[in-house]
Amino acid sequence: MKLPLLAGAATRVGVAAALSALSCLPVAAQGVDYSKLEIKTTDLGRGVYLLGWRGGDSLILVGDDGVLLVDTSVARMGDKITAAIAKVSNKPIKLIINTHAHADHFGANEALAKGGATIVANDKLRERMANGFTAFNQAIPPSPPAALPMVTYADAMTIHFDGETVQLFHPPNAHTDSDTLVHFKRANVIHASGTIGGDGGYPFFDMGSGGSLAGMIVAEEKMLSLADDKTRIVADEGEPASPETLKASRHMLVTLRGRVQRLIEEGKSEDQAVAAKPTRDFDAKWVHQGNFVTGDAMTRLAYQSLTRVTPPTTPRR
């Protein structure tokens, strides 16, 4: 697999450094001290809580039926997720939904499902977990059978749980090729499966895992179609985003796609496209300190994604 951003050697060094700060990584590679991480629980109303640890943040829905958990974080965070759930519910975990095949979203599946929870995910996620895969240049071995989703779906699924209607949608080739958008209709909360940037930063798509710029735009449009002006959209980390932020993100991605596509059609190389600074007027809003997705990185991602989907007969740079 290739790292998401590949250009010259200098860029590669930058990317390696940047990826080490990326939360949505198979975080075992990052040397994170999980003993120091604390989960911040935020009540989003109607029985839905955000469990945030600035990684692959989880959501729970609690009620008389038990607990529905969206994403299990990494294996070493499993005990902390269990403890955080115990603070708001004494019921067992009945259902687990994994949003996508990055290890900080399914790592503690086996431990958290051993009480009898049913794991649900997109077909592609199970396939990746069962066979093992590579993400961010790190090999993820095949998962044990007890960690695998036992219920999978292709395009959409609806779960009725404790009075809530939980709708699952699969946007093809968005953040990855295994994404599930999770919409809690009554609570008016959507888990974005990494298709919106954390803390209002540039969003990231993992082309090595089947993600694409076009798919990100479709995913954001899907979430906009589900949202009203009070919807909370949960990214991988940080405070939930507002519909305004989601609209702005979609506008930024569509504008960037148009600009980079034009540069490609003008015959510009990837480095020339970066030098043209097509993100210049977006960077002040979308580049955040500590976020590895800079304007230049965003341009490279867009360029690579758009040239990958160009028909092979079209001349490339």
Least distance in Å: CB of 268 to Zn ion? 29
- CB atoms under 10 Å from CB of 114, counted, come to 12
Q: Compute, in degrees rounded to 10, the torsion defined by CA atoms 309, 312, 313, 316.
A: 80
Residue 80 C-beta: closest distance to Zn ion, Å: 19
Q: How far is the CB of 100 from Zn ion (least distance, A)?
A: 6
Cα 299 from Cα 271, distance rounded (Å): 9
- Choice between 101 and 252, CB closer to Zn ion: 101
Q: Which is nearer to Zn ion, 51 or 263 (CB)?
A: 51
Backbone φ, ψ for residue 203 (5° rounding): -75, 160
Which residue's CB is nearer to Zn ion, number 176 or number 294? 176
We find the least distance from the C-beta atom of residue 205 to Zn ion, in angstroms, to be: 9
Nearer to Zn ion by Cβ, of 110 and 179: the residue is 179
Report the SS3 class of residue 131: helix
Burial grade of 91 (CB within 10 A; 0-12, 13-18, 19 or more):
middle
Nearest alpha-carbon partner for 66 in 113, 122, 126, 104: 113
Token look-up 């809580």 returns: 49
Residue nearer to Zn ion on the CB measure, 62 or 192: 192
**In the complex, least distance from residue 24 CB atom to Zn ion, rounded to whole angstroms:** 4
Amino acid at 300: R
Name the percent of the chain in helix, strand, coil, to the closest 5: 40, 20, 40
Question: Shortest gap between Cβ of 27 and Zn ion (angstroms)?
Answer: 11
Of 179 and 270, nearer to Zn ion (C-beta) is: 179
Closest approach of Zn ion to the CB of residue 211, in Å: 9
Of the pair 73, 188, the CB lying nearest Zn ion is at 73
Amino acid in position 23: S
Helical axes 9-20 vs 295-308, angle rounded to 10°: 110
Residues 6+ apart with CB under 8 A from 311: none
Interface residues with Zn ion (CB under 5 A) are 24, 102, 194
- 274: closest CA among 69, 5, 92, 42? 5
SS3 266: coil
Neighbours of 29 (CB within 10 A): 15
Pick the closer one to Zn ion by CB: 128 or 259. 128
